[in-house]
Amino acid sequence: MTKELYNLGEMPPLGVIPPKMHAWLIRPERFGKPMEAFQKEVVNTPAIADDEVLVYVMAAGINYNNVWAGLGIPIDVIGARNKAFARGEQGEPEPFHIGGSDASGIVYKVGKDVTNVKVGDEVVMHCGRYSRDCEWVKNGGDPMYSPTYRIWGYETNWGSFAQFTKVQAQQCMPKPKHMNWEEAAAYTLVAATAWRMLHGWGVNAVKKGDVALIWGGAGGLGSMAIQIAKAAGATPIAIVSGEDKFDYCMKLGAKGCINRNEFDHWGMLPHWKDNAGYAKWLKGVRAFGAKIWEVLGEKRAPNIIFEHPGETTIPTSIFVCDTGGMVVVCAGTTGYNATVDLRYLWMRQKRLQGSHFANTEQSNQMNQLAVRGLLDPCLSRAFPYTDIPHVHQLMYENKHPHGNMAVLVGATEFGQGASSKAPVAVEHPTLPKGDVHTTPRPYPLTAPLPTIAEGEAITLADDGTKVRDLMHRGIISCTPTDTVGTVAKIMVNKEIHAVVVMDERGKAIGVVSQTDMVLARQGRTPDEARSMRAQDVMTPGCATCDADMLLSEAVSLMTGRRMHRLVVTEKEQPVGVISMTDVVRKIIGE
């Protein structure tokens, strides 16, 4: 008779499914830091559908997504699934979440339509699920674009932090025989993501002879990207934050490395009118480009740039990318406002391409590289099953090592599960001792991303304050032909930061701000700058708002246009000014 529950590490006979299983569960009532959010429980072993497989988990890979699942932000993954289920849509009814989007294990049960795996097969799993009944998929569309697409173990329940996991058969791929269980559990999510980024984008896919610039070469994605680019016959150049990581990246196949801390031009682009700022940025980015040439040993620009830091690095990536090349991005770890100098994008016909995880075909292509021994899983640390909350807590506190981490689940010891020698002899690279993350933890994906036909109404976070409640009445203005000298005097005498430019009909046509004055001085003598006219230096198209506009909307206008003040109008006539200083006063309750 089948036992009700097996102890952890006590493997049930092949094909025997106990009714209950051990698992680490997240429940909404304990959303919070990983050490509190994850708790060990015993639950019913899930039933499988006809196209699904039940896998006995030997080891599970660790990803940041389940830190977010435990925190319950930016989405309550449990609530979202329960609501969808209640609406009769694709969802799940269980009031808990079993996370884990990477795993290695043994197939214990298959649904009646499954043909690609059988009971007893040793497998690794990719995390992309989708409905086989989706019209888009049935018509041959990329499942990544299917509305039914979900990340297993994050957007779906029954992930790998349990004795058994429920996956679709198409998620299963052969386990590389030379890898132990924890190594095999560690690489799929990051490697498949890197594969699609490098191989998934048509004419710009990486090819023999290309130069590939890889950000975060010692990180989870970057370490995979170096190896994938190298295997395609390209020349990878890795960027890291310290020379202690050079050796690691070189062993993975980088031709050379760059220490990003030798440069300081990072961040959003300076304004294109800011001659001095732009020139300084250009100097910085050119020096970075020259460094690429130096490590490459020839004056060539990278054809493909592997991006994920986002906001701080995109301007550089676009600039150094070759004519006709591609910057491919799968994350915005440092922020989402990627600034692009469009002149370089259109004149040199470069491509900025978004990419997200990978489809079944791409995951399998990647896995073949692993099976052939050409992809090191870059396992930096493995933990026992009991450490699942702890390892997520390390990530939450940014104290985890780079590379990929895994936990044992069914495997009783580290190092079990390899059944053959590696097909090719490669040196196992190790990260520098004591390596931990020094960069901020990733921003969460702002999910769900709104679509045009968004089901739920979007609620505005606003306390109802209007612009008229805080504005300063009265406009201090100048004419378009007043000189900068005159405008400067007005600013100094009235102790204000900006002067509105009014035409002869009393219409506000622009604003001269302190920033405009400073930019006017760049590259000119004081006399030349003083004799310029307001209309030459002003920011045209005066940004206005109505006195009855919500303060929150006015703030969005200012932050969106990177301005500090707006001219306030009543019946389209300028009557006052609202500034960021006024908003700050309100915040601190002055």
Tell me which residues touch ligand NAP (CB under 6 A): 64, 189-190, 193, 215-216, 218-222, 240-241, 245, 260, 308-309, 312-313, 330-331, 333-334, 356-357, 402, 437, 439, 442
d(CA 10, CA 165): 16
CB of 313 to ligand NAP, least distance (A): 5
Closer CB to ligand NAP, 222 or 576, in the complex:
222
d(CA 569, CA 169): 62
Closer CB to ligand NAP, 45 or 63, in the complex:
63
Strand stretches in 141-297, DSSP E: 150-151, 164-168, 172-174, 211-215, 235-240, 256-259
The answer to whether the beta carbons of residues 250 and 397 sit under 8 Å apart is no
- 3-state SS class at 367: helix
CB of 445 to ligand NAP, least distance (A): 8
Closer CB to ligand NAP, 330 or 558, in the complex:
330
26, 37, 91, 150 from 79: Cα distances, Å: 12, 15, 10, 15
Closer CB to ligand NAP, 163 or 312, in the complex:
312
Q: Which residue has the tokens 């505005």?
A: 460
How far is C-alpha 297 from the chain's CA centre?
A: 32
Closer CB to ligand NAP, 377 or 410, in the complex:
377
- 3-state SS class at 247: helix
CB of 381 to ligand NAP, least distance (A): 12
CB of 439 to ligand NAP, least distance (A): 3
Closer CB to ligand NAP, 439 or 581, in the complex:
439
130, 229, 234 from 210: Cα distances, Å: 34, 9, 5
Q: Which residue has the tokens 């830190």?
A: 67
151 CB-near residues (< 8 Å, 6+ apart): 65, 101, 127, 128, 129, 357
H or E stretch covering 61 = strand 52-61
Closer CB to ligand NAP, 206 or 329, in the complex:
329
73 CB-near residues (< 8 Å, 6+ apart): 444
CB of 306 to ligand NAP, least distance (A): 10
CB of 553 to ligand NAP, least distance (A): 31
Q: What is the dihedral angle through the alpha carbons of 555, 561, 566, 570, rounded to the nearest 10 degrees?
A: -90
Task: Tell me the sheet residues that pair with 328.
Answer: 306, 353
CB of 221 to ligand NAP, least distance (A): 3
Closer CB to ligand NAP, 106 or 395, in the complex:
395
238, 496, 558, 564, 586 from 581: Cα distances, Å: 43, 11, 12, 8, 9
CB of 251 to ligand NAP, least distance (A): 15
How would DSSP label each residue in 178-198?
A: TS-HHHHTTSHHHHHHHHHHH
Phi, psi (deg, nearest 5) at residue 545:
-145, 155
Q: Rounded to the nearest 10 degrees, what angle do helices 551-560 and 580-587 cross at?
A: 130
Closer CB to ligand NAP, 72 or 332, in the complex:
332
Task: Tell me the sheet residues that pair with 307.
Answer: 329
Closer CB to ligand NAP, 169 or 190, in the complex:
190
CB of 239 to ligand NAP, least distance (A): 6
CB of 572 to ligand NAP, least distance (A): 45
Phi, psi (deg, nearest 5) at residue 388:
-55, -45
Residue nearest to ligand NAP (CB): 219
- Other residues' Cβ atoms within 10 Å of the Cβ of residue 471: 21
CB of 444 to ligand NAP, least distance (A): 9
Closer CB to ligand NAP, 241 or 479, in the complex:
241
